[in-house]
Structure 1
Amino acid sequence: MRVPQFEFTPFSPKQLQVSAWWTDKSPYKDYETIICDGSVRAGKTLIMSTSFIEWSMANFNDEQFGIAGKTIGSLRRNVLTPLKRILKGRGGYRIKDKRADNLLEITRGNVTNHYYVFGGKDEGSQDLVQGLTAAGFFFDEVALMPQSFVNQATARVSKDGGKYWFNCNPDGPYHWFKLEWLDQPKKHKVLHIHFTMNDNPSLSDEVRDRYNRMYTGVFYQRYILGLWVLAEGVVYDNFNAEQMVVDPPDPSRITKYVVSSDYGALNPTVFLLWGFCDGVWYCLKEYYFDGRNNPGHRQKSDDQYANDLGTFLGPISAPIILDPSAKHFAIKLEQRGYEVIPADNDVLDGIRLTQSCMSNGLIKFTPGLSSVFKELSSYIWDSKTGQKGEDKVVKEHDHAMDAMRYFCMGVLAPNQNEEGIQVFDHY
């Protein structure tokens, strides 16, 4: 089969600097570390991954290297797949992808090097790199990795002339990577290159505009402006009632229904009914029962909640996107014939996606959603964890917000087309 060729556009000055910083004529050749941070779609990953391979193949033979992403799946999708297309398109490279061993074996002429692939998603990931002796390590999206994994991986680079390559979008100003690496450039001999979308010549004005509209608030500052800023204040600061609260469409025009639910035994249980009409998902009505704050402090059983769901839906048939921790309730609903879909509970990705859906008009709200509107104004970032370098929300006034996030992650989760541009697939 013919391998699709990767089409290059002329590189920007910053991309050219990344491609050549390690060469003999570069004033930065003796630096040990390069860090490229900044906005999304800025052309960082492509140029860093190809330059990493060029550097390693030019300076070493029969050595081991590490390439890490948050997960091996995301690394293969976002880095290795385009990298292999680029190298094959250039000619002279032979690549053996040994998936069972998470190993790329790359050959050019008489030079062969070995690139081990790692996922650095949690504290346990540090065990994966123990024992490796490496001549270099490339970290894609390093701000999403725990410090323990990065510390263990960088300690594996023990060959003379070894270098570290870091790529990321910004996080908070107290994130461990910023404090340890970006804020101490002399300690690590760092070349820091900050990217924005304007540094990627392959992007059209239309695509840049699309990404500018995808993010708001802290995520706009980080992913568009490329700033290391604190998440603070109201989470959904982009909520505009005048634009986002509308009358519901006529039921005859609604073509699909979905329910999203956050379940609590003592905490509130929430059902949100969503209807799809003319390219927009409308939050049509809500059910909200608080087992602590009601007359008599009465709690409900799973059977009672299932009965309430039946009353809530009436004649409407819809799949239920349910809090993944509510396993017993899921079984109860399935016994009654409901289709139950476990929700994706990635909080930060879910918040980013939900903000984007709100700002781009993919979801709207109808009048009368009192609990949803109350939580939209009181769902806030945790300032204490922000000072420790972690983005977390205060676990209060969040039950309708969780149900809303479950819906967006389950129905409007972004995929990537061949150009790497996010597109939305309706349920």
Structure 2
Amino acid sequence: MLSDLYTPKQLDTFRFAVNNDYFMLINHGAKRTGKTVLDNDLFLYELRRIKKIAAAQGVENPQYILAGADLGALNRNVLIELSNKYGIEFHFDKFNRFKLFGVQVCCFGHSKINDLGRIRGMTAYGAYINEGTMAKQEVFDEIKSRCSGNGARMLIDTNPDNPEHWLKKDFIDKADGKTIKAVQYRLDDNTFLSERYKQNMKETTPSGMFYDRNINGMWVMGEGAVYRDFNAKMHYISREELQKVNFVKYIVGVDWGYEHFGAIVLLGKDDKGCYYLIREIARQFEEIDFWLEQAQKIKAEYGNIPFYCDSARPEYVKKFKQNGLRAINANKAVLSGIERVAQLYKQNGLRIVDDVERFRDEIYMYVWNEKTGEPVKQFDDVQDAIRYAVYTDENHGGISILK
């Protein structure tokens, strides 16, 4: 029974897809709602369908575009999932192409403008675009223009972004239910997830924009304070209480500055996975020698721990390395990093020693820019350094080092 395979929302979308001659089907909305699962299956359906169309036209080797943010993401989100589910083995040639059901599937990244040149010139019988909001608009438009084979269709899945995003304005908002079909998913639409899981996701997702996007599938901008779940009564900790914590790891985040504040933050991680801001050094109008001196003091006290640095000043990172520091370019993914820090506040997994100064100045002034969808570039220096440390620590695989 199809109802054993798909949720009611997925099943409605599947029935539409196999019974209508649309051009673009956009499944968008909250995470973990089955958008990609459905599109992966429809991708296989589309390959069989266009093979029949092409054969009737005498086209022996029809081409199809499969695009993701990059080839690694495409492999994780689509190909490995299909291999695990159906046991399909994909055999690539040197041009990142594979044959399936008699169709030549051409794999591309879509998040960089240099992906554009790889797509030009081909005739495709369709396209499947994974993580649509991550695509460069020019690359997306080129893929669309390549879908000129008879009966070509496009499958797109994506999580929400800001409501001014071109995918939302130019396609989702213009969906007519015929040429363009857009289907929005909320977490509660996934009836295969347990109520316990859904409740846990709701309780641990940061308030505001992240909740609206990740739980309700809404295309919204952030407004007000970035860290809406920060609670001074809950998240500050005294030096005395800090002495009782069993730390298993120390890391440092570095945000370079001059006219605006530069910041070095030392964080400890306890045996339960909770982070603590132990020390902040935030100053204006200081040269690299000052920051090097501060970093070396931390190394002398805590050992050769990692310094996750803002990559905007590569000469500073290089100088740290030349002087024996474990300086590493930070993972600066803005929204993903902010979401992780916000989640830690929501779960009481990040505590701040209460004698900080610059952090106190920033935390309630660190707000969203409603035009760009990112934080305002003010009162963000210590906040950025914390984000660099936490997010890179969790996405870099560094070694735990005790003092």
TM-score (norm 2): 0.88
> For 1:113-128, what aligned pairs fall within 5 Å after superposition?
113-128=103-118
Tell whether 2:4 aligns with 1:13.
Answer: no
Q: In 2 relative to 1, CA 9–328 (structure 1 residues): closer, same or farther, beyond 3 Å? A: farther
1:105 to 99, 107, 119: 99
Q: In the alignment, residue 286 of structure 1 is paired with which amino acid? A: E
Q: Retained in 1: the 8 A contact 2:206–2:229? A: no
Tell me, what secondary structure is at the counterpart of 2:302? coil
CA offset at residue 251 of structure 1? 6.4
Partner of 1:271: 264
Distance 2:396 2:117 in 1: 31
Opposite residue 281 of structure 2, the aligned amino acid is Y
Match for residue 420 of structure 1? none
Residue 302 (structure 2) pairs with residue 316 (structure 1):
yes
Q: Is structure 2 residue 379 aligned with structure 1 residue 404?
A: no
Name the residue aligned to 1:44. Answer: 35
Q: Distance in 2 between matches of 1:393 and 1:256?
A: 29
Contact in 1 for aligned 2:124/2:148 (Cα 8 Å):
yes
Whether 1:170 aligns to 2:160 is yes
Partner SS for 1:331? helix
CA gap 1:16/1:355 in 2 versus in 1, 3 angstroms: same
Aligned to 1:260: 253
Letter in 1 for 2:67: A
Rounded to whole Å, the distance in 1 between the matches of 2:33 and 2:188 is 7
Q: Supply the distance in 2 between the matched residues of 1:254 and 1:216 (Cα, whole angstroms).
A: 29
Aligned to 2:126: 136
CA distance in 2, matches of 1:115, 1:126: 17
Structure 2: which amino acid aligns with 1:67? L
Is the alpha carbon distance of 1:100 and 1:177 closer, same or farther for their aligned partners in structure 2, counting shifts above 3 Å? same
Q: How far apart are the structure 2 equivalents of 1:384 and 1:252?
A: 41
CA separation of 1:395 and 1:276: change in aligned 2, threshold 3 A: same
Q: In structure 2, how many angstroms separate the alpha carbons of the residues matched to 1:83 and 1:149?
A: 25
8 Å Cα contact 1:95-1:104 kept in structure 2: no
**Given the alignment of the two structures, is residue 153 of structure 1 paired with residue 139 of structure 2, yes or no?**
no
- TM-aligned CA distance change 1:140 to 1:215, over 3 Å: farther
Aligned amino acid, residue 83 of structure 1:
L
Tell me by how many angstroms 1:137 deviates: 0.8
CA distance in 2, matches of 1:363, 1:237: 14
Aligned residue in 2 for 1:79:
78
1:314 is displaced (CA, Å) by: 5.3
**Equivalent pair of 2:299/2:325 in contact (CA under 8 Å):** no
2:375 pairs with one of 393, 397, 414 = 393
Residue 289 of structure 2 is aligned to residue 303 of structure 1: yes
Residue type matched to 1:189 in 2? T
**Conserved? CA contact 1:235–1:379, under 8 Å:** yes
CA distance in 2, matches of 1:203, 1:252: 36
Letter in 2 for 1:170: P
Query: Could you tell me which residue of structure 2 aligns to residue 295 of structure 1?
Result: none
The alignment partner of 2:242 has SS state of: coil
Cα pair distance change 1:99/1:284, threshold 3 Å? farther
CA distance in structure 2 between the partners assigned to 1:323 and 1:148 by the alignment? 29
On the 8 A contact 1:353/1:413 being kept in 2, the answer is: no
Which residue pairs with 1:290 in the alignment?
A: 284
Give the match for residue 332 of structure 2. 345
Question: 2:217 aligns to what SS in structure 1?
Answer: coil
What's the CA shift for 1:151? 0.6
Report the Cα distance in structure 2 between the residues aligned to 1:379 and 1:106, rounded to whole angstroms: 50
Residue 361 in structure 1 maps to residue 360 in structure 2: no
Task: Please list every run of at least 4 consecutive aligned residues from structure 1 whose deviation after the TM superposition is greater than 6 angstroms.
Answer: none
Moved more, 95-104 or 359-368: 95-104
Partner Cα separation in structure 2 for residue 376 and residue 328 of structure 1: 29
Closer/same/farther in 2, CA of residues 367 and 378 from structure 1, 3 Å limit: same
The two structures, once aligned, show a CA RMSD in angstroms of 2.4
* Counterpart amino acid of residue 168 in structure 1: T
C-alpha contact 1:274 1:283 (8 A) present in aligned 2? yes
Counterparts of 1:244 and 1:384, CA distance in 2: 30
The 2-side partners of 1:135 and 1:314 are apart by 62
2:187: which partner in 1? 197
Contact map agreement 2:250 2:400 (CA 8 A) in 1: no
Cα distance, 1:202–1:160 mapped onto 2, change above 3 Å: same
Are the counterparts in 1 of residues 27 and 35 from structure 2 also a CA contact under 8 Å?
yes
Q: Which runs of 5+ in 2 are unaligned?
A: 53-60
Q: Which one is further off, 14-23 or 65-74?
A: 14-23
Partner Cα separation in structure 2 for residue 237 and residue 182 of structure 1? 29
Aligned partner of 2:56 in structure 1 is: none
Match of 2:315 in 1: 328
Q: Partners in 1 of 2:90 and 2:73 — Cα distance?
A: 19
Cα deviations across residues 249-274 of structure 1 (Å, max 9, x unaligned)?
22673222111111124432211111
Residues 130 and 156 in structure 1, CA contact (< 8 A), matched pair in contact too: yes
The 2-side partners of 1:65 and 1:310 are apart by 55
Return the alpha-carbon distance in structure 2 between the equivalents of residues 32 and 127 of structure 1: 24
Distance 1:20 1:102 in 2: 32
What amino acid does structure 2 have at the position aligned with 1:30? D
What corresponds to 1:239 in structure 2? 230
The 8 Å contact of residues 70 and 141 in structure 1, kept in 2 or not, is answered as yes
Given that 1:351 and 1:405 are in contact with CA atoms closer than 8 Å, whether structure 2 keeps it comes out as: yes
For the residues of structure 2 that align with 1:409 and 1:272, how far apart are their CA atoms? Answer: 14
CA deviations over 1:192-235 (Å, ceiling 9, x no partner): 22212233233222322332213331011011111111222221
CA distance in 1, matches of 2:207, 2:127: 33
Structure 2 equivalent of residue 249 of structure 1 = 242
Measured after TM superposition, the shift of residue 69 of structure 1 is 1.3
How far off is 1:414 after superposition? Answer: 9.8
**What TM-score do the two structures reach when normalised by structure 1?**
0.84
